Structure 1
C-alpha cells in the first residue's frame, strides 16, 4: 500500500492543501491516518476518493452535496461524467485514478471513448500528453512509483503501435522521406511514435529506428536511405553542452536534410544556437502544424 502526504494529494489532484483541510474539518469528507509520531498521511483509497471528489467538484457539483453522497454513488457519478464529458481536464484526472489503481480496463475505456469522440490526434495532444506531463511532475515529487509509469506508458505505446500498423500501404507518391530516431540514452519514445503515426497517416515515407541509436549506426542508415527530413526527441540524458554538441553534429553531418528537433532538453535549453537547417518544435501541436505544412 502506498502512502501520501497532503502535499502529494495537492500535486496529484490540484486541490490546495488548505482546501483539503477545510473539507476534512467542515464536512468530515476524509479522515487522514496518523503515524506513531502524529504525522498525517493518506492511503491509495483516500487518493482515489479525493480524485473522484475533485472530478465531481470541477464539474459543478457543490462540495456540500458531494459530502452527503455515499461512496458508491460518487463512483457511479464519476463514471457517468467520464463517459459523457468533453472536458479533457476531467479525463486527465480519470486517467490518473486508473493509473494509481493499475486499472487497465478503465484506462483503455477512457482512451477509447476520447478517441471515438475526438479522434486519436486530439486525444494524444489534449489528453495523453498533458497526462504524461502530470506523471512527470509526480515522478519528480516522488508521488508515483516506476511501476505506475511503466504500466501507463506501455498501454499508450500499444495504442500507438496499432494505429501505426493501420497506416501500412498509405504512402503517397509525392510523400516526403523521413528518418526518425532517439539518440543514445534517450528512453522516452511516445512523442516520436506519435510523430511516426502523424507522418504515415499523411502519406509520408518513414524509416523508424526507435530508441537508443548510436550515431555511427545512424550515419550508415542515413547515407543509404537519404531522407529529406530527420526527426528526433531529446527529453533526458544530456546536459546543455551535450545538447548543443548533438545539434551541431547532426546539422553538420547532413546539411541537405531538414532537421526537426523537439523535447524538453531542446525547448528549454538556455541559449541554444540553432543551425540554419534545424527547426526546434516547441509543442506537440506545433509538430502537427509543421507536418501539415509540408
Structure 2
C-alpha cells in the first residue's frame, strides 16, 4: 500500500484487515482484539465474512495506535478515541446519511415479515455513522413510529415483534463488539421487577460499554433479591436502573430504597420515562438522551 494511502485512506474504498495492518502498522491480531474488546471500530463484512474497513475505521485505529505508542493503556486509548469521535463535526458522509432510511421502509418490511428487507434497512441506518448517532438519530425514533403504525392498525403486533427481534439481535451484537472491558470500572445495568421494555436500556448499555466501562447487563424484570445478590457479588462502581414506563416507577422506587439502605455509598442512577419523579429518592436522575446518560455515568466511574 502506498504512503499516500497510509496518510489519507481513499473515501468510499474498503480495506481488508491485512491492508489496514500495513497502513497503520498495527498487527492484524491486535486490530481484531481492539474491535472485539473495545469496539473502536465496527467493520462491515463481505459475503465471505471478511472484515472490510472504511476510511473512518482507519482514522480511528491510527489515532488509537498513536495513543498506545505514547504509553496510554489500550482501554483508556479506546475511550479517548470514542470521546473524540463524539465531539467532532460530522463528516460529509454522515451529513448525507442524515437520519437514515425512511421509516416507511421498515414498516413495509414488518408488514411482509421480510427478514432480508429488515436487515437491509438496519444496515442502511447503521452505515456511515457512529452507533450513538444511529441509535438516537434513527433507531429509537423508528421504533416509536413502528409502535404508532401498530396503534393505527397498519401493522399486526406480530410484525412489530418480528422487527423488534431483529433490532434486539443487532443491539446484542453491538454490545458484544464493545466489550468486555475487563479491569475497567463495573456498572450494573438492568430493569426493576415487572419492567419489560428493553431497547432503550440495551442501547444505553452498548453506549456505556463503548465508553470503556465493564457493563454487567441484567436485562428485564429483575427481582429485588436478584439485584441485591448481584450487588453483593460484584461490588460494582455504580448501579443504573432503567425505568422505561410510568408504571415501572413504583417497583423502581422500592428497589432504589432497598439498595440505598443496604449500600448508602453506592452511586445509583435512574433513567427513562418513568424516572422523572421525586419518588426515586436516593438516586441520581440521568439525562433523557441515552448517549448523554452513558457519558454521565462513564465520567463518574472513570473518576473513581
User: Structure 1-normalised TM-score?
Assistant: 0.61
Tell me, in whole angstroms, the C-alpha distance in 2 between the residues paired with 1:248 and 1:142: 41
Deviation string for 1:99-135 (max 9, x for gaps)? 2222221221122123221122211111110012223
| Aligned CA distance change for structure 1 residues 241 and 99 (closer, same or farther; 3 Å) | same
Bigger shift: 178-187 or 161-170?
A: 161-170
| Aligned match for 1:97, one of 86, 108, 121 | 108
The answer to whether the 8 Å contact 1:257/1:277 transfers is no
Deviation of 1:219 (Å) = 0.6
- The DSSP-based 3-state class of the residue aligned with 2:247 is coil
Unaligned runs of 5+ in 2: 1-94
Matched, 1:123 2:134: yes
Per the alignment, in what secondary structure is the counterpart of residue 127 of structure 2?
A: helix
Q: Which residue of 1 aligns with 2:55?
A: none
User: What is aligned with 1:88?
Assistant: 99
* CA drift at 1:160: 1.4
Q: Give the CA deviation at 1:177.
A: 1.3
1:191 corresponding residue in structure 2: 200
Change (3 A) 1:292 1:203: closer
Q: Distance in 2 between matches of 1:287 and 1:168?
A: 18
Q: Which moved more, 1:242-251 or 1:185-194?
A: 242-251
2:284 maps to 1:278: yes
What is the CA distance between 1:168 and its match in structure 2?
Answer: 3.9
- C-alpha distance in 1, partners of 2:157/2:270? 27
- The reply on whether 1:235 has 2:244 as its aligned counterpart is yes
Larger radius of gyration: 1
**Which of 286, 296, 299 pairs up with 1:293?**
299
Aligned-pair RMSD on alpha carbons? 2.7
Gaps of 5+ in 1: 1-83
CA–CA distance in structure 2, aligned partners of residues 261 and 190 of structure 1: 15
Change (3 A) 1:190 1:240: closer
Task: Determine the C-alpha separation between the residues in 2 that align with 1:254 and 1:137.
Answer: 41
For 2:117, which of 86, 93, 106 is the aligned residue? 106
Structure-2 change in CA distance of 1:142 and 1:230 (3 Å): farther
The 5 A counterparts of 1:54-203 are 86-88=97-99, 90-171=101-182, 173=183, 175-203=184-212
1:222 matched to 2:225? The reply is: no
CA contact (8 A) 2:249 2:274 kept: yes
Shift in CA distance, 169/261, structure 1 to aligned 2, threshold 3 Å:
closer
